[in-house]
């Protein structure tokens, strides 16, 4: 389907469907988190949160395991409140000095990137 711009120079609603509007990437060692803002056919924005984790297969090669959550506007407030509540619980009940390494994993440097959506955020990692 060819994209046609309207007279204001903007793409039609159909052309923007499922288009990524904004993206924030957090790289944390073997894990990468993608926070992507997309639009529906009705131009309503929603968020996809994707965790991508590199795993080694039985053949010794690595592959990516992905988990995705779709978060719609009507759920934003409850989601943010609940996330703040559980993170606050962890901070209160497990002070920083008591954080232990789990499953032998080492602490990883976290790199945060944000800005306009980039093409790589919707990569099907099974194809790599």
pTM above 0.75, yes or no: no
Output the pLDDT for position 64. Answer: 86
* 1 is a domain residue: no
Higher per-residue confidence, 57 vs 51: 51
Backbone φ/ψ region at 43: left (φ over 0), alpha (ψ -120 to 50), beta:
left
Output the pLDDT for position 80. Answer: 97
The count of C-alpha atoms lying within 13 angstroms of the C-alpha of 44, restricted to the half-sphere facing its C-beta, is 5
Picking from 127, 122, 121, the residue whose alpha carbon sits closest to that of residue 26 is 121
Q: Would you give the distance in Å from CA 19 to the centre of its chain?
A: 14
Checking if the pLDDT of 24 tops 70, the result is yes
* 128 is a domain residue: no
Q: Tokens in use for 79?
A: 């989601």
CATH number at residue 27: 3.10.450.700
* 31 is a domain residue: yes
Q: What is the mean pLDDT of the chain?
A: 77
Q: Tokens in use for 33?
A: 């988190």
Quote the number of domains for the chain: 1
């Amino acid at each position: 389907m060819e994209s046609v711009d309207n007279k204001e120079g903007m793409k039609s609603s159909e052309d923007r469907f499922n288009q990524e509007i904004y993206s924030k990437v957090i790289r944390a060692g073997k894990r990468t988190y993608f926070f992507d803002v997309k639009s529906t056919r009705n131009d309503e924005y929603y968020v996809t949160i994707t965790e991508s984790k590199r795993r080694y297969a039985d053949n010794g090669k690595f592959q990516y395991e992905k988990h995705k959550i779709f978060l719609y506007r009507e759920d934003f407030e409850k989601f943010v409140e609940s996330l703040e509540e559980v993170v606050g619980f962890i901070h209160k009940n497990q002070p920083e000095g008591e954080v232990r390494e789990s499953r032998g994993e080492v602490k990883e440097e976290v790199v945060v990137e944000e800005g306009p959506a980039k093409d790589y955020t919707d990569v099907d990692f099974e194809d790599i």
